[in-house]
Amino acid sequence: MSHPLLSFRDAVKEFPARGRGRRRGAPVRAVDGVTLDIDAGEVFGVIGYSGAGKSTLVRLANALETTTAGSVVVDGTDLTGLSEAQLRPVRAGIGMIFQQFNLLASRTVAGNVAYPLEVAGWPRADRDARVRELLDFVGIGDKADVHPARLSGGQKQRVGIARALATSPRLLLADEATSALDPETTADVLALLQRVNRELGITVVVITHEMEVVRSICHRVAVMEAGRVVELGDAYRVFSAPEHPVTRRFVASALRDVPSSAVLARLRERHPGRIVTARIDEVSGSSAQVTRVLAEHGVDGTIVFGGITELAERPYGSLTVELVGHDAAVHAALDGLRAATTVVDHGTATRPAAEGSDR
Amino acid sequence: MSPDLVPLLGQAFGETVFMVLITLAVGGVCGLALGLGLYLTRPGNLLEHRGVFAVLNVAVNVVRPIPFIIFLVALGPVTRAVVGTTIGTGAFTFAMCVMASFVFARLVEQNLVSIDPGVIEAARAMGASPLRIVRTVVVPEALSPLILGYTFLFVGVLDMSAIAGYLGAGGLGDFAIVYGYRQYDWALTALVVVIIIVVVQLVQWLGNGLARRALRR
Ligand SMILES: Nc1ncnc2c1ncn2[C@@H]1O[C@H](COP(=O)(O)OP(=O)(O)OP(=O)(O)O)[C@@H](O)[C@H]1O
Ligand SMILES: [Mg+2]
């Protein structure tokens, strides 16, 4: 098997305490013993709440920060102990895009994209051709001579992506690259990142606190909390069967397909029957199965809440259904559903079940 | 104004221009270097170095507030060591260059701290060396305020040149006092004042224009 493109081995990054004397606080362990392998060709997500250490982790990958302990290996090169001058070519070989785009206001779009080529010592004519090619790839070929101040957020991030791809890196790091964009523009930029991965074969690491980003483009995901990776795996697995509480919170906040207690209270006013929430995913069950089980038992199922979306290009979601029929039939149908998928029984308005109250 | 004063006024104008231009050139270069040093060695910045930053910072803080007329005298021993004498245009111009460097250093630093650290981070991430970042990111990104700061420096230098002139370096300030103020020739004094105002206005206008052009994006 080929070696991973990027690996962290017990990587630790500690920032010295701020302040002086008595006001001196404790040192901050922004990254606290992370071991992680990112394979060539994948889109890898790192998700976590603010302060979890995500940015610090990627900054270790392109040596903007150096590890306090442990090691980081990029494409076979161990960064541990390299001098500042030795780290520069490593950085140049890794693309990075930023939440605030970080474009040079004093240069045009073309000048910005040419910057890394200048650093790499490309001759002018080659630079111009490459810049044109890149701007066409990201879809802003007509903006070459415009200054960044005149661009929209989405266009700025396209410039950022073109700039990051200029020297044909094998690895692209995206730190909250869509967090400053509206949902529609976010989708466009994510689609572009997906093209970067598929068409150019570039490995992409996306840092985010938005589940939506992971949901739409990541193959694998690491969930971070307090400097540690608390959950790691196939994006579909992690989100269809989250294990760590932090992951559960992300899943719940992103999909909003499971009724909260307030929603449930409103549902009960309108739907006196038995309300159940059935999970729809590849692992536990499909909506066809739900329909079939209800039909088999002669129970009417009215969908009252929920939805099915895609996670890593596979179906995922849940349906909340009001079951109407004879008590015995409803019971049997419920057992049938339980055999097919994960079910949360909310009970009826008159006899609510405690089961559903944990979310 | 009597006609025989005209060549004297011309000469005074020439002396002032000489002092101001030399000071602007030397003070501009040294001040930019000092200011960049302050900015780069500041904790958290590209070439973070507590010791160097502390020394530069204290030096600038000590020198800058000293009234120029006192500084001129206090710098005497240094001036003698460098220029060989403490009087004459050369000696005064040297003192002006030193003062201008410290004044401009602070102006430069204040304008550089407003640069978005993100763009410097991006340049680092692309593998740029600190020297290249200074040349291609720090200075170009702050060019407009730097030009305005330099224009501001010009006015300060003109002010210093009048004091230096009075103490023996010649120039417009000296001319205004010797032939205007002392002779109760208010018209002559006013004429010099008008000349200075016009020059300052012209330079300010030029500086504003260049700064605006640097900002056109
Ligand atoms: N240069 C630094 N000096 C001191 N502490 C730092 C530094 N950079 C980050 N930290 C601290 O390290 C911790 C992790 O920060 P980091 O920026 O990696 O988090 P993050 O997950 O990217 O958060 P966010 O979503 O807000 O960007 C935080 O507590 C932060 O205050
Ligand atoms: Mg961050």
d(CA B90, CA B103): 20
Q: Does residue A267 share a domain with residue A218?
A: no
Nearest CA to ligand 1 atom 8: A56
Q: Does residue A241 share a domain with residue A313?
A: no
Q: Is A53 in the pocket of ligand 1 (CB under 6 A)?
A: yes
Q: How high is the pLDDT of residue B4? A: 78
Across the interface, do B127 and A147 touch by the CB < 8 Å criterion?
Answer: no
Yes or no: say if A104 and B119 are a contact pair by the CB < 8 Å rule: yes
Crossing angle of helices B89-112/B50-63, nearest 10°? 130
Q: How high is the pLDDT of residue A291? A: 87
Q: Does residue A63 share a domain with residue A176?
A: yes
Instruction: Compute the distance from residue A51 Cα to the ligand 1 centre, in Å.
Output: 5
Q: Does residue A293 share a domain with residue A178?
A: no
Q: Tell the CATH topology of B3-216.
A: MetI-like fold (1.10.3720)
Mean pLDDT (chain A, rounded): 90
Query: How many structural domains comprise chain A?
Result: 2
Which of A227, A253, A279 terminates a domain? The answer is A253
Alpha helices in A93-152 (DSSP H): 109-119, 124-138
Q: How high is the pLDDT of residue A288? A: 84
Ligand located closest to A68 CA: 1
- Chain A residues near residue B129 by CB distance under 8 angstroms: 85, 88
Q: Does residue A317 share a domain with residue A198?
A: no
Chain B's closest residue to A100, CA to CA, is B118
d(CA B116, CA A271): 56
Element (H, E) at A70: strand A69-74
Q: Does residue A219 share a domain with residue A84?
A: yes
Q: How high is the pLDDT of residue B191? A: 86
Instruction: Compute the distance from residue A104 Cα to the ligand 1 centre, in Å.
Output: 24
Residue B203 CB-half CA count within 13 A: 22
Residue contacts between A and B (CB atoms, under 8 Å): 65
Count helices and strands in chain B by DSSP H and E runs: 11, 0
Task: Name the residue facing A92 among B127, B137, B217 (closest C-beta).
Answer: B127
A285, two tokens? 């069950």
pLDDT tens readout for residues A83-92: 999 999 999 9
Q: How high is the pLDDT of residue B26? A: 96
B148, two tokens? 């305005």
Instruction: For residue A56, give the ligand 1 atom closest to its CA.
Output: 18
- Evaluated on CA atoms A279, A282, A283, A286, the torsion sign reads positive
d(CA A278, CA B87): 95
A77: containing domain: 4-93+169-253
Model confidence, pTM: 0.86
Which of A201, A223, A253 terminates a domain? The answer is A253
Give the number of other CB atoms < 10 A from CB of residue B77.
Answer: 9
CATH number of the CATH domain containing A221: 3.40.50.300
Which of A217, A235, A253 terminates a domain? The answer is A253
Q: Is A30 in the pocket of ligand 1 (CB under 6 A)?
A: yes
Nearest CA to ligand 1 atom 14: A53
d(CA A57, CA A35): 11
Would A135 be classed as within a structural domain?
no
Would A157 be classed as within a structural domain?
no
Q: Does residue A220 share a domain with residue A298?
A: no
d(CA A254, CA A221): 15
Q: Does residue A291 share a domain with residue A249?
A: no
Q: How high is the pLDDT of residue A284? A: 64
Burial A1-13 (b: 16+ CB within 10 A, else e): eeebbbbbbebbb
Q: How high is the pLDDT of residue B42? A: 93
Listed as ranges, residues in chain A with pLDDT below 70 are 1-2, 19-23, 283-285, 354-359
Q: Is A59 in the pocket of ligand 1 (CB under 6 A)?
A: no
Give me the residue spans of the domains in chain B: 3-216
Q: Does residue A283 share a domain with residue A308?
A: yes
- Chain A residues near residue B122 by CB distance under 8 angstroms: 96, 98, 102-103
pLDDT tens readout for residues A112-145: 999 999 999 999 999 999 999 999 999 999 999 9
Query: Looking at residue A17, what DSSP letter applies?
Result: P
Give the number of other CB atoms < 10 A from CB of residue A212.
Answer: 16
Instruction: For residue A65, give the ligand 1 atom closest to its CA.
Output: 1
Yes or no: say if B37 and B56 are a contact pair by the CB < 8 Å rule: yes
Q: How high is the pLDDT of residue A2? A: 60
Listed as ranges, residues in chain B with pLDDT below 50 are none
Q: How high is the pLDDT of residue A152? A: 94
Chain B's closest residue to A113, CA to CA, is B126
Q: How high is the pLDDT of residue B188? A: 82
Q: Does residue A184 share a domain with residue A56?
A: yes
d(CA A219, CA A14): 29
Would A60 be classed as within a structural domain?
yes
- Chain A residues near residue B128 by CB distance under 8 angstroms: 88, 115, 119
Q: Does residue A296 share a domain with residue A204?
A: no
Would A111 be classed as within a structural domain?
no
CATH number of the CATH domain containing A316: 3.30.70.260
Would A223 be classed as within a structural domain?
yes
Whole-complex ipTM: 0.85
A350: contact with B, CB 8 A cutoff: no
Yes or no: say if B35 and B202 are a contact pair by the CB < 8 Å rule: no
Nearest CA to ligand 1 atom 4: A15
Q: Does residue A190 share a domain with residue A67?
A: yes
